[in-house]
């Protein structure tokens, strides 16, 4: 028997259900007639948001999903979503399969309706994707569903979804079609690493143009790569979108085209440490630049009516205002003894892309609370007041973690302290005012 499931019924009636006795369905995130995705929380001393995917146990390819989950659960990679739990359950006598993964608040598909990626952002996007695909392929696995909606932003890091990973060699007929993202051979043949390369080519074209490559599956022609796509991305896309799997680029060839000096995925760690600093930085901030920038457009719209104090001026370029570190540290007698306040030794301002700066209208502020250890390093930082934009708050948080301080002292001994860093943004300048709030 095939169970029919209505999306509206799932959304309305399943909220509040507990899966496998431990996963409470808190919020509907999306779905189809095959199942739904809900927000849940992981058990533990500190609650952690997670996503739980439910699908019919009698659906075509359901057992192939279970096999994929079994090999996915032990995987660990910085650019791959984690699979925490999976199993079987029932809701209203409907047999279901479930998988619990990391929760992502945004994905690339949410950004592209607003604007295409710049070439710099596209380069930063491809690096983590290549690393994750190389990791999977080396273990006899394929992603199988690479597309913008499956490129996730998790804690300022780009990650691939993990709930549909397949064993290389499985038949593509067991899995729902992804349209143009699905390589031509998957409908009747085996899914292979070359299938992921095809999907990457389609995704790259969409990222740079806001539209997938045009392809008529019934015609014996490769997809059309728009002439407006700059190099090396046009060559990479054409190399990925060859109809014959054996003619497509490998992951290593894509990496070589992208950046000849960049080591291919799989290079030993010792060699990777010699990679350019710019590349290492891109791996750390790619999700913040690529996936969260949409908030700089959407959440700052409320500021468009606020007049900019610099309006009407003819400054040639935005300036950055950096207050000087505190010149001296005042002394004070307290119940603790003689206290010498700390001082800022090094300030780091958020690295805001020019495109995001242009979305600012007027001025807005946010604050970061930083804990400074006895050595003057920031041991912990968190958003104290996010302001109107999570994107700018995220960039400020990353910058605050790199600050250095001359530590505070009590009776001549260095002690930890707490600082509040107030960042203020406008098109003309980025300013920050640091204030020590303890000891």
**Domain CATH number, residue 96:** 3.30.200.20
Give percent above pLDDT 90 in the chain. 40
Decide if 281 is inside a domain: yes
Element at 263 (helix H, strand E): none
Q: Which pLDDT score, from 0 to 100, does residue 18 have?
A: 92
Give 6's pLDDT tier (boundaries 50, 70, 90): low
Please indicate whether residue 390 or residue 414 has the higher confidence score (pLDDT).
Answer: 414
Token pair, residue 56, equals 């019919």
Q: Which pLDDT score, from 0 to 100, does residue 203 have?
A: 95
Q: Which pLDDT score, from 0 to 100, does residue 428 have?
A: 87
Decide if 332 is inside a domain: yes
Q: Residue 316: is its pLDDT beyond 70? A: no
Q: Which pLDDT score, from 0 to 100, does residue 245 have?
A: 92
Together in a domain, 189 and 240: yes
Decide if 60 is inside a domain: yes
Give 324's pLDDT tier (boundaries 50, 70, 90): very low
Looking at every residue in the chain, the average pLDDT score rounds to: 79
Closest CA to 118 of 358, 382, 431, 406: 358
Q: What is the pLDDT of residues 246-292, one digit of tens each?
A: 999 999 999 988 875 444 444 443 333 333 333 333 333 344 444 44
Q: Which pLDDT score, from 0 to 100, does residue 367 have?
A: 93
Decide if 119 is inside a domain: yes
CA 335 to chain centre: 47
Together in a domain, 249 and 331: no
Together in a domain, 206 and 339: no
Together in a domain, 264 and 148: yes
Please indicate whether residue 153 or residue 333 has the higher confidence score (pLDDT).
Answer: 153
CA distance 112 to 101: 24
Together in a domain, 196 and 249: yes
* Stretch 95-100: mean pLDDT: 92
Q: Residue 1: is its pLDDT beyond 50? A: no
Give 92's pLDDT tier (boundaries 50, 70, 90): confident
Number of structural domains found in the chain: 3
Q: Which pLDDT score, from 0 to 100, does residue 332 have?
A: 53
Q: Are strands 35-42 and 23-24 parallel, antiparallel or unpaired?
A: unpaired
Least confident of 25-29, 218-222, 313-317, 430-434: 313-317
Residues 6+ apart with CB under 8 A from 435: 419, 420, 421, 422
Together in a domain, 186 and 246: yes
DSSP-assigned letters across all residues of 335-402: TTEEEE--EEEE-------HHHHTT--S-EEEEEEEEE-TTSBEEEEEEEE-TT-HHHHHHHHHHHTT
Q: Which pLDDT score, from 0 to 100, does residue 47 have?
A: 65
Together in a domain, 113 and 96: no
Q: What is the pLDDT of residues 38-68, one digit of tens each?
A: 999 987 755 688 999 998 888 777 777 888 8
Together in a domain, 263 and 341: no
Q: Residue 216: is its pLDDT beyond 70? A: yes
Together in a domain, 228 and 341: no
Helix axes 119-138, 277-290, angle to 10 degrees: 100
Together in a domain, 257 and 368: no
Together in a domain, 272 and 367: no
Where among 292, 325, 350 does a domain terminate? Answer: 292
Q: Residue 221: is its pLDDT beyond 60? A: yes
Q: What is the pLDDT of residues 305-315, one digit of tens each?
A: 444 444 443 34
Give 323's pLDDT tier (boundaries 50, 70, 90): very low
Q: Which pLDDT score, from 0 to 100, does residue 380 have?
A: 93
8-state DSSP, 275: S
Domain around 225:
106-292
Least confident of 119-133, 298-312, 331-345, 376-390: 298-312
Positive or negative: CA dihedral 125, 126, 131, 134: positive
Q: Which pLDDT score, from 0 to 100, does residue 410 have?
A: 87
Decide if 299 is inside a domain: no
* Stretch 103-112: mean pLDDT: 89
Token pair, residue 352, equals 């805001």
Together in a domain, 281 and 341: no
Q: Which pLDDT score, from 0 to 100, does residue 291 have?
A: 45
CA distance 370 to 381: 4
């Amino acid at each position: 028997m095939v169970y029919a499931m209505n999306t509206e019924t799932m959304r309305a009636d399943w909220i509040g259900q507990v899966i496998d006795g431990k996963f409470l369905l808190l919020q509907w995130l999306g779905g189809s007639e095959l199942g739904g995705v809900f927000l849940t929380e992981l058990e533990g001393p500190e609650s952690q948001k997670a996503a739980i995917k439910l699908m019919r146990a009698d659906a075509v390819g359901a057992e192939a999903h279970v096999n994929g989950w079994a090999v996915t659960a032990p995987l660990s990679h910085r650019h791959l979503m984690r699979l925490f739990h999976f199993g079987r359950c029932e809701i209203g006598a409907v047999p279901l399969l479930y998988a619990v993964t990391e929760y992502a608040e945004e994905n690339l598909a949410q950004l592209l309706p607003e604007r295409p990626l710049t070439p710099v952002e596209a380069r930063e996007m491809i690096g983590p994707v290549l690393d994750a695909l190389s990791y999977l392929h080396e273990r006899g696995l394929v992603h199988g569903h690479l597309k913008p909606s499956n490129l996730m932003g998790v804690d300022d890091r780009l990650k691939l979804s993990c709930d549909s990973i397949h064993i290389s060699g499985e038949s593509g007929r067991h899995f729902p079609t992804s349209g143009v993202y699905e390589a031509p051979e998957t409908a009747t043949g085996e899914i292979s690493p070359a299938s992921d390369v095809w999907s990457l080519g389609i995704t790259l074209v969409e990222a740079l143009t806001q539209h997938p490559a045009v392809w008529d599956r019934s015609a014996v022609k490769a997809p059309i790569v728009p002439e407006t796509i700059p190099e090396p991305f046009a060559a990479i896309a054409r190399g990925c979108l060859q109809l014959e799997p054996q003619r497509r680029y490998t992951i290593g060839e894509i990496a070589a085209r992208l950046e000849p000096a960049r080591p291919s995925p799989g290079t030993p760690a010792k060699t990777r440490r010699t990679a350019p600093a710019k590349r290492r930085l891109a791996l750390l901030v790619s999700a913040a630049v690529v996936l969260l920038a949409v908030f700089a457009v959407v959440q700052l719209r409320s500021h468009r009516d606020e007049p900019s104090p610099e309006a009407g001026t003819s400054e040639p370029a935005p300036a950055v205002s950096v207050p000087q570190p505190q010149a001296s540290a005042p002394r004070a007698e307290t119940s603790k003894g003689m206290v010498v306040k700390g001082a800022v030794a090094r300030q780091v301002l958020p690295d805001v892309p020019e495109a995001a700066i242009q979305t600012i209208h007027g001025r807005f502020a946010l604050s970061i609370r930083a804990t400074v250890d006895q050595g003057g390093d920031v041991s912990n930082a968190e958003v104290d007041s996010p302001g109107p934009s999570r994107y700018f708050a995220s960039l400020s948080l990353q910058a605050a973690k790199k600050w250095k301080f001359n530590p505070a002292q009590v009776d001549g001994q260095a002690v930890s302290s707490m600082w509040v860093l107030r960042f203020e943004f406008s098109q003309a300048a980025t300013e920050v005012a640091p204030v020590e709030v303890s000891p």
